[in-house]
Amino acid sequence: MSVPVPTGCELTGAPAEYKSGAMAETLSDGDRERKVAFITGVTGQDGSYLVELLLQKGYMVHGIKRRSSSYNHPRLEHIMEPGYPNGQNFFLHYGDLTDLHALVAICRDVRPTEVYNLAAQSHVQVSFQMPMYTAEVDGVGTLNLLEAIRLSGQTKTARFYQASTSELYGKVQEIPQSEKTPFYPRSPYAVAKMMAFWAVVNYRESYDMYACNGILFNHESPRRGETFVTRKITLAVANIKAGKQECLYLGNLDAKRDWGHARDYVECMWKMLQQEKAEDYVVATGETNTVRHFVDRAFDIAGMKLKFEGEGVDEVGIEVATGRTLVRVHERYFRPAEVDLLIGDPNKALTQLGWNPRTTSLEELIKEMVEADIARVENPTLRF
């Protein structure tokens, strides 16, 4: 089941207690002291930051990755290098949310005390083209993982975190959005995530499982995938600055989002699993900005001041110094059903978890992403 990785990261190096297939129906004193995390989606942006956090806190960390003929975990490369602090406590397994048997086997072998379900087909635009696959992974896949915990006899010993999403609010019913705001999903992705949300609630109420949803609003970083709008923007800025790209094409510049830093948000995930009672939380900054604002700040940080002219699909971003058109709007990048305004109310997380949503300001976040992509364009081998 384990994935061959550099020395110190193999599953075969784990202590015997973490390879046991024994099932625990009740929480023993030993279980109370064990800190063993199992992360799906470990190769993604959030997964890599969460691994770093948990290793720092002294956890044994297990993650799953899908089989691929190409290298598919560059965000974890630095953790696997010899000498990374506590890197010997990180292990990878082959697995997939659609494979219940594999999930049960891993849960029995690892006996996690905390399970973080971060895996998903998380691209909204793609979900319109692949709705069935999105539902299978994001909806049924979450159910598979909950069942794996139950079937391996760990409903009382494993705490479960589900990465939910602000896309659940879709056609927003109130501003800002809180834990009590009605859902109105506007994409196959959001519909699948709503199934996952209620599956978590159902297992919490039916099996007395410690299971909670983190309704995360947009969170970014230099590790964000290149197809997501913020990273698409910062990478384009870097390429335009280097003379490798002429123009950035985007969709709805008026769309408003609540953006935070992924590194700050994974800390909130961990805090959710340290409480006496499992509850659902909105994870957000409570601030909203337009895509246009993000674009403007990204170009400005890179030394290119823009002015915007026109409206709708005719809007353009023009560099003040040269008159070059660096940003254009194209209808192909509009969603079939737009989500215009998302802004979260994080007060519950602030008061009950003691979490600070603005450890990193939006300006600092954009600057970090732009500078990272400028460095990557100059040296593609760099990792952040």
Find the Cα–Cα–Cα–Cα dihedral 161, 167, 45, 210, rounded to 10°. Answer: 0
In the chain, alpha helices (H): 29-33, 45-56, 77-80, 100-110, 124-129, 131-134, 141-151, 188-207, 229-241, 262-272, 291-301, 347-348, 362-378
Task: Give me the catalytic one of 43, 165, 234, 288.
Answer: 165
Active site residue 10: no
pLDDT at 384: 85
Q: Is 11-216 in CATH node 3.40.50.720?
A: yes
Place of tokens 């299978």: 136
107/115 Cα distance (integer angstroms): 9
pLDDT at 147: 98
Place of tokens 């959030």: 46
Task: Give me the catalytic one of 52, 167, 220, 368.
Answer: 167
pLDDT at 12: 33
344/229 Cα distance (integer angstroms): 19
Residue 297 is encoded by which pair of tokens?
């700040």
Residue 115 burial (CB < 10 Å; 0-12/13-18/19+)?
A: buried
Write the pLDDT tens digit of every residue in 182-216.
999 999 999 999 999 999 999 999 999 999 999 99
pLDDT at 351: 97
Nearest to residue 248, comparing CAs of 207, 206, 299, 209? 299
pLDDT at 33: 78
The residues spanned by each domain of the chain are: 11-216
- Secondary structure (DSSP) of 317-339: EEETTT--EEEEE-GGGS-SS--
42 close to 49: Cβ distance less than 8 angstroms: no
| pTM score over 0.95 | no
Active site residue 351: no
Active site residue 167: yes
Sheet holding 248-250, edge to edge: 248-250, 325-329, 316-319, 306-309
Q: Helices then strands (H, E): number in the chain?
A: 13, 15
- Secondary structure (DSSP) of 188-233: HHHHHHHHHHHHHHHHHHHH---EEEEEE--EE-TTS-TTSHHHHH
251/329 Cα distance (integer angstroms): 5
pLDDT at 338: 74
Q: Which stretches in the chain have pLDDT values below 50?
A: 1-24
Task: Give me the catalytic one of 49, 59, 84, 189.
Answer: 189
> Which residues, at least 6 apart from 381, have a Cβ–Cβ distance to it below 8 Å?
none
Longest CA span, the chain: 69
pLDDT at 85: 94
The DSSP bridge pattern shows strands 325-329 and 248-250 to be parallel
pLDDT at 144: 98
